[in-house]
Amino acid sequence: MKNYIEKNKDRFLSELFEILRIPSISSSEANKADMQRCAEKLAEQLLAAGADSAAVYQTAGHPVVFGQKMVSPELPTVLVYGHYDVQPVDPIELWKSQPFEPEIRDGAIYARGANDDKGQLFMHVKAFEYLVNEGKLNHNIKFILEGEEEIGSPSLGAWAKEHKDMLACDVILVSDTTMISDKVPSINCGMRGLAYVEVEVTGPNKDLHSGHYGGAVYNPINALCKMIDSLIDDKGHITVKGFYDKVVELSAEEREMFARAPFDMDEYKKSLDIDEVKGEEGYSTLERTAIRPCLDVNGIWGGFIGEGAKTVLPSVAHAKISMRLVPNQDCNEIARLFEEHFLSIAPKGVKVRVIPHHGGNGFLIPVSSNAYKAAAKAMGEVYGIEPVPSRGGGSIPILADLQQILGVNPLLMGFGLERDTIHSPNESYLLDQFYKGMESIALFYKYYTK
């Protein structure tokens, strides 16, 4: 595909930029029309790339794009999953260029969604276009591009159930993850699940003057801090009752295989500018982020957070708390256990509410599958190195659902790198990875059989 890329580079970029310019932030009500616009643009691009059909389907939430080219019922069918929605852009002041004005700097595309997932899904569209135009398409290819991945895909599960037959396939192919490094290509064999909750702690029924009431009334921020602090003990264990009950311990052998992935602790700490890592006792950093569950406060707010000083004893404090889960932990069960636990530790003097957000289960993909082998061969050729099987720490909850609904495994060929800082300011995607990804995807089809 190298030559084809060389010839069409400029057009590829200008087509990708058209999508990147649309601020398709799924969590923001204000961007609802942008979601529709982005979906329509992608359906157009699928048709232009050679799809027999491509359409925008309305759901209870943001629309789903589905397109396909059916060559023959005998041939294997690949379902490409991607998402066109993106994360919010705050803190906006840290962006060097506007998040929705894509820019190429130092060999990388900078924009919100440059990598996650517009840049990565776009590689599939162009590999598909190449196969069609060069007459090399020996598979049926289907695309399902959703607009709610960043908010937990609340609508796609129901939509997929309804359109189960239309989505029938032999493998789900996804590029929405990272590889270990551009020197060490890797393929994700598993992803963590996610349980996400919001908590609200209410003290007095109104904001109070901290001079008149301070010292006598339980401050809900102080209470929230106490409760949050108690969620993780000194050994890094999560204290929610029953949290670890279904976690499967890995064998020494499995842990050894996992430890083969290269990892430089000094480099890791340096890149984050931290003097020490922190996590569950008895596990390595790679294990802590992949095969072990964890709990993080994603956001906290309460009281006066403006400029200057206000002496208020606030009425309410909030936090967003998420737990990354490993396979076998059920996200709904964990959210329920969290709620029970959090309510049980509420001190007298405050009231506590737990509001569950989206969640999803983790999953594991067998290394022995044909799809994994084809991907490994394709990436080995493009990168000149055999890829390493790895486990992802992030979550794509909908993939666990699709796996269950369609009865096929997802394969995660991700071409992102840590440097891309997805979800953060200055998200980027290296052009080199962008093009190598396309090549790898095109070669995957060369090697993949049922």
Footprint of a second copy on 22-81 (CB under 8 A): 26-29
* Options 57-65, 179-187, 386-394, 398-406: segment touching a second copy (CB under 8 A): 386-394
Applying CB under 8 A, the span of 56-64, 139-147, 275-283, 365-373 interacting with a second copy comes to: 275-283
Which of residues 424 and 449 has its CB atom nearest to a second copy in the complex? 424
Task: Report how far Cα 313 is from the mean position of its chain's Cα atoms.
Answer: 37
| Alpha-carbon separation of residue 20 from 56, 80, 105, 110 (angstroms) | 18, 19, 15, 10
Q: Interaction with a second copy in 132-161: which residues (CB under 8 A)?
A: 150-152
Phi, psi of 423 (to 5 degrees): 70, -10
Q: Does 188 bind a second copy (CB under 8 A)?
A: no
Convert 189-219 to b/e letters by CB count within 10 Å (16 or more is b): bbbbbbbbbbbbbbbbeebbebeeeeeeebb
Residue whose structure tokens are 């090697």: 447
Stretch that binds a second copy, among 8-16, 159-167, 272-280, 440-448 (CB under 8 A): 272-280
| From 3, 6, 183, 206, residue interacting with a second copy (rule: CB under 8 A) | 206
CB of 39 to a second copy, least distance (A): 19
Query: Which of 102/397 has CB closer to a second copy?
Result: 397
* 229 touching a second copy, by CB under 8 A: yes
Q: Which residue has the tokens 């590029």?
A: 175
Instruction: Say whether residue 174 binds a second copy (CB under 8 A).
Output: no
How far is the C-alpha of 308 from the C-alpha of 265, rounded, in Å? 40
H or E element, residue 49:
helix 32-49
DSSP state of 86: B
344 Cβ contact list (under 8 Å, min separation 6) = 241
Question: Reduced to 3 states, what is the DSSP secondary structure of residue 333?
Answer: helix
Q: How far apart are CA 434 and CA 283, in angstroms?
A: 34
Span near a second copy by CB under 8 A; candidates 51-59, 69-77, 157-165, 225-233: 225-233
**Is 285 one of the binding residues for a second copy (CB under 8 A)?**
yes
The nearer residue to a second copy, 8 or 285, going by C-beta atoms, is: 285
Choose the stretch contacting a second copy; rule: CB under 8 A; options: 10-18, 37-45, 179-187, 292-300: 292-300
Taking the least distance from each CB to a second copy, the nearer of 91 and 384 is 91
Which residue among 98, 138, 200, 204 contacts a second copy (CB under 8 A)?
204
Half-sphere exposure at residue 285, Cβ-oriented, CA atoms within 13 angstroms:
12
Pick from 203, 327, 387, 414: which binds a second copy (CB under 8 A)?
203
Query: Which positions from 335 through 374 interact with a second copy, judged by CB under 8 A?
Result: 347-350, 357-358
Smallest gap from Cβ 118 to a second copy, in A, equals 16
Residues within window 307-336 making contact with a second copy, judged by CB under 8 A: 307-314, 317-320, 322, 324
Whole-Å CA distances, 203 to 160, 218, 302: 43, 6, 11
Query: Nearer to a second copy by C-beta: 53 or 97?
Result: 97
Number of residues that bind a second copy (CB under 8 A): 98
Half-sphere exposure of residue 120: CA atoms within 13 angstroms, side-chain side: 30
**Residue 450 Cβ vs a second copy, minimum distance, rounded to whole Å:** 32
CA–CA gap between residue 177 and residue 412 (Å, rounded): 7
Give 135's contacts (C-beta < 8 A, 6+ positions apart): none
In the complex with a second copy, the residue whose CB is nearer, 70 or 217, is: 217
Which residue from 97, 133, 239, 298 is in contact with a second copy, where contact means CB under 8 A?
A: 298
Rg (CA), the chain: 23
Residue from 172, 142, 144 nearest 63 by CA = 144
CB 93 to a second copy: min, Å: 13
Q: Is residue 119 helix, strand or coil?
A: helix
One character per residue 113-132, x = contact with a second copy (rule: CB under 8 A): --------------------
- Nearest residue (CB) to a second copy, 76 versus 88: 88
